[in-house]
Structure 1
Amino acid sequence: MPIFSATLGSFTSISSSFLSQSHLSPFVKTPCQWQHHYHTAKVLVSASGNTQIDQNPDSGLLQRPTPPDPLDDARQARRSSDWKAAKTYQDSKVIYNGRVEGFNSGGLLVRFYSVMGFLPFPQLSPVHASKEPEKSIQEIAQGLIGSIMSVKVILADEDNKKLIFSEKEAAWSKYSKQVNVGDIFEVRVGYVEDYGAFVHLRFPDGLYHLTGLIHVSEVSWDLIQDVRDILKVGDEVRAKVVGIDWGKSRINLSIRQLEEDPLLETLDKVIPQDGSADPDSMSGGDSGSIEPLPGLETILEELLQEDGIYDVRISRQGFEKRVVSQDLQLWLSNAPPTNQRFTLLARAGRQVQEIHLTTSLDQEGIRRALQRVLERVP
């Protein structure tokens, strides 16, 4: 049984001794051995090493298989090894410095050894857009080609050939340690959503490396219907760090906490009496002449049931120019007590009422009493 065949030109003269050899001898091309005739023949080599020539031109031909290219095998082995390395980078969260090779409509192409990865534009650090705010994202991407970028591998999927990078995550690892709750930053508004504004934090080097959120409730003490009425893309403001979620790489900031809550002191602080206020913005009288805010009367009655509280009455009220909250809110003033009399402030909408509380309790005792009352009142 032949193990392979090869197509050759047939020969008019070939020695019989050659055909009877048990092993193939090297061909030696000399004029006396053969003349070329270009019709098809087939040389068959048996398992024992004997050979014969099939002169049938119609017989099927078996081609010698192409040997594997060792270079292709080496490349494939290297790519497989690089995918494993990428998965290790993903699991260990180690920063990788990759070269930007190009970009498309969705992001940058970043090389990871022999594998090409992808960095979506939303995963770019804010430092680029902050440096050149007048440029489009495509113009910024064009300028990044050839640069070395610090990134983190956030997805390495060899089966689906997906390798995704994030520069934001790398920046978080480097700069988040410089951020603490209570820190105040100069920030630039990057984009605005219905629920708040995303702002970029400016660091001592003058660059914006991290992004945080100012929730709509932390923009102002005023009641805000649309954040876009207050903040616009490109605005630069000061904001205070009020929370850090290390697990989700998130920073929460507040603008309003840099402003004193108008209800932390007295009604005079809420509505300053500097001659510019409306004449009817303040009104005095006793608790009988001022109608309590909706829901407040029940709370005052319950407070009188608490031990150590002797008298509760509304002393005066005022009207703000702004609506702070539609719901009833109660605040214990920081103003020092006078003759065992503390000040409470209640507000709803634009209306603010000042309440005098005569008690033997200290501030902490009053807070606990208020908490008990609010738990009883529906």
Structure 2
Amino acid sequence: REIMELHTLGVDGGYTQQDVTEVARAFTGWTIYPISDYGGGSNQRKLLERVGVSTLEKRGFIFQDDFMFRADKHDAKEKNILGEKFNAGGGYDEGMRVLSVLSSHPSTAAFICKKIATRFVTDTPSTDLLKKMTATYISSKGDIKSILLTMVEHVDFWKSATKHDKVKSPFELVISAVRATHADVKDPFQVFNWSTKMGQRFYYYQAPTGFPDKATYWINTGSLLSRMNFGLAFATQKIPGVQLNWAQLNNNHEPESIENELTVFSAILLPERNQSENIQRLLPLVKDVNIGAKITAAAQQNTSSEMVSTDMLQMEEPKRLNARASKSQERKALSKKTRQVLEMPYTAGTNSPIAQVAGIIIGSPEFQRK
């Protein structure tokens, strides 16, 4: 089911439960070569070595690096997958044929092309763009380079309405801030903590699909406040283990005024953007000497931006608790773990005008866009 629903046909790709069962049968015997020196893996490896690879290959076994096909564990009976008949005794080649059938299926073409367009163009790609990308997928037999060229050559890719339409995930936001500022990160865990606080704890998304690639999942009032709070904490070097040199970014030239700082660092941090409109939106904020305190207070009061990370902690943390722990002990452990992640440690940092301005730019909606 995973290979069809998540990686090829898509959930509405036309397969049935019978197809799921038949595909599972086709992949019986597919496994990895045991490499462990301990336990069952060690015993299996010793048995294989004792029998000998050449002998096993004569019996239908396949060895390719860490992959192993065990002919003795394969369901050799006839199968029918997506309307195609698989004769009995196909062995390893059945699995390869399944991959070929799935990869060349029209539903796979449509599914993969929509994923690519959603990733690189817009959350809601047009029917015409998807139609042309899908046609290229089919004609090129899934050549990704050709598909990307079709996408880039389409008018939708260059429309002003879709340019910078995509919104960064928390992970992309913190990484782009580090890259744009050439920050020296001594303690990556603190950056990880901020990604968690903004709703994306690495490797903790429960569904096998991975974190969503659409703005509706990431953006709400609370998350915007947390992102602005991150921008200010990052730029003013209040995040432990993160060091910045704002003067060096501007060739050691100090802007003459707040307005000039906003103009200069907007160009540095937001190249190829509409600077004039963004500057007009941010100018009242950079002139507010209390903006940092206001944003921090608002972010602390709003819990919606922390719901995702808190929920994930609540799903994972009980697994580490002793099975005999009482409900009160569980709640206490959860509370402690949640505080450790969501209550960020701060250093004294620097509240220089340049850092404040840069923080507002990093926390602004325009910097949130890819």
TM-score tier by shorter-chain length is: under 0.3
- Structure 2-normalised TM-score? 0.22
| Larger Rg computed on CA atoms | 1
